[in-house]
Amino acid sequence: MKELKASMAGTVLNILAAEGQAVTAGQAVLTIESMKMEIPVEAEVGGKVEKIHVEVGSFVNEGDVLMTVGE
Amino acid sequence: MKKILIANRAEIARRIIRTCNRLGIETVAIHSEADGDLPYVSEATEAVLIGPNPVVQSYLQIDKIIEEAKKRGVDAIHPGYGLLSENADFARKVARAGMIFIGPSSDIIEKMGDKIESRRTMIQAGVPVVPGTEEGVTTLEEALQQAVEIGYPLMLKASAGGGGIGMVRCENEQALTQQFDSVKNRAKAYFGDDVVYLEKFIADARHIEVQIFGDHHGNLVHLYERNCSVQRRNQKVIEESPSPNLPQDVRERLCAAALQAGKAVNYTNAGTVEFIVDSNNEFYFLEMNTRLQVEHPVTEEVTGLDLVEWQLTVADGGKLPSQDKIQTKGHAIEYRVYAEDPKTFFPSPGKLEKLQWGEGARIETGYEEGNQVTPFYDPMISKIIIHGSDRADALSKSQTFFNRVTINGVKTNIPLFKEFIGSEQFVSGNYATAVLPEWMEKTKEEHTL
């Protein structure tokens, strides 16, 4: 199990994967808006999305867990 | 004018307050919850908490801002740049509420904000315009058809776009096919309007703009040009005036074309006519910005004028001086300091643990040591403007200045400036809009950023 954490504070703009979906390492699974920029967040490992901890519009701080991916 | 409300934040709000203080005009600042500690809030005569952090709930709340202005008995509203500065609806509502909007009329804002309409207006006025579609393109089939006539590479742009958002370069048919829906969707999401158009991509182009000013007595003048070709993600990073390696006759023709553009719409207040200039010094109108620009201090440094004061004078019915009274002296360069990683350009919000600028530059900043740079707004934390007797002098002063700056708590692009401004490409002054990404790519392994 791998936790995908936010690398910076911002607002979740889009969630590009669903719980139960298989993702590959490097795949963009979320976008965060910070300082008027859209930042793609990529899965660090491949596996199944176990849980999505945020929703579109959520404000996240650096280090907050966004998703857990089962390896 | 006795009292004005500033419908903006941070650096530009502070800049406007400074001129108002000098002229004895009271100011009302608005701020979100996150911005309550920024210096502009305490520097204004009055301050109003306008809403929560997201701009849509605070700085873009048109009716609330106008209501607060009326309640506080203000005569005029200055929109700054960005946010509501080019919002025709806002300008119209301010005027209807019986206050002065410090900028051009809502009709001009509307006309120039629609890039297709502004292209059409300039073509009619005889100003050279980048070849492209004359109407909005609604379907991919139509875009592909028009692209054959224009030729690749081309730019796919949102008609209501700005700030580098909603524009993408397409090298071929496949790229245009891939990008079409995405640009339309972004245009809709960012600007509420999904109309797009195509423009020929001009290779090796410089981005040069001319500052113009019009008053309500039919006078229109230019304040010379600025070269804004150092960009990342289509957004300006370094601007300078005069433009290096620009022949005097081309400079004169550019300024004349900018006045022609302004006259075509009976322009009033501060405006900027943006051009791209190709390697043969042929130039084309890109767009007109109907507001004060971020880079206005470059013009102020070479002309010795206060453009905010001019804005207030014109808005209050005053007259502009004649063109022959506007002269330039020396060379000025502006550096936009962003809270971002200098290698990836990713944002770097955080607390400014230490902020030590040193001497030798004009510093326009919305922040002080101890302030938070929050993720809600633009990453620009400061502008450094350096004036020299000539370009070499300004560059030498820039190096000295940057070597003395200390910023802790957030990453900034200052390490990038320190390396880039010593590069052969920049020092030569012979650079086009791709200079920064190209230089980064070439020197990737040598970087010590």
Determine the distance in angstroms separating the CA of A66 from the nearest CA of chain B, rounded to an integer.
Answer: 17
Predicted ipTM of the assembly: 0.83
For the segment B151-178, the average pLDDT, to the nearest whole number, is: 90
For the segment A30-58, the average pLDDT, to the nearest whole number, is: 93
Q: Which chain B residue shows the shortest CA-CA distance from A39?
A: B346
Residues of A in contact with B378 (CB under 8 A): 35-36
Residues of B in contact with A38 (CB under 8 A): none
The DSSP output letter for B75 is S
Q: Are B138 and B198 in contact (CB under 8 A)?
A: no
State the virtual CA torsion across B111, B114, B118, B121 in degrees, nearest 10: -60
Catalytic residue positions of B, numbered: 291
% of chain B at pLDDT higher than 70: 100
pLDDT per residue as tens digits for the range B275-320: 999 999 999 999 999 999 999 999 999 999 999 999 999 999 999 9
CB-CB under 8 Å, B375 with A11: yes
Dihedrals φ, ψ of B364, to 5°?
A: -110, 110
Distance between CA atoms of residues B196 and B116, nearest Å: 9
Of A23-27, B22-26, B178-182, B340-344, where does the model show the most confidence? B22-26
Give me the amino acid identity at B140: L
CB-CB under 8 Å, B54 with A11: yes
Residues of B in contact with A7 (CB under 8 A): 346
Distance between CA atoms of residues B101 and B92, nearest Å: 8
Determine the distance in angstroms separating the CA of B209 from the nearest CA of chain A, rounded to an integer.
Answer: 24
- Neighbouring residues of B447: CB distance < 8 A, sequence distance ≥ 6: B343, B419, B440
Q: Taking the model in full, what pTM does it have?
A: 0.93
B5 contact A CB<8A: no
Name the residue with tokens 């709340």. B61
The answer to whether residue B449 scores a pLDDT higher than 90 is: no
The answer to whether residue B163 scores a pLDDT higher than 80 is: no
Determine the distance in angstroms separating the CA of A32 from the nearest CA of chain B, rounded to an integer.
Answer: 10
Chosen for mutation from A14, A31, A37, A38 (greatest number of chain B CBs closer than 10 Å) is A37
Q: Is B15 helix (H, G, I), strand (E, B) or coil?
A: helix
Name the residue with tokens 């400079």. B251
Strands B354-356 and B235-241: unpaired
CB-CB under 8 Å, A8 with B375: yes
CB-CB under 8 Å, A35 with B339: yes
pLDDT per residue as tens digits for the range B215-228: 999 999 999 999 99
CB-CB under 8 Å, A39 with B375: no
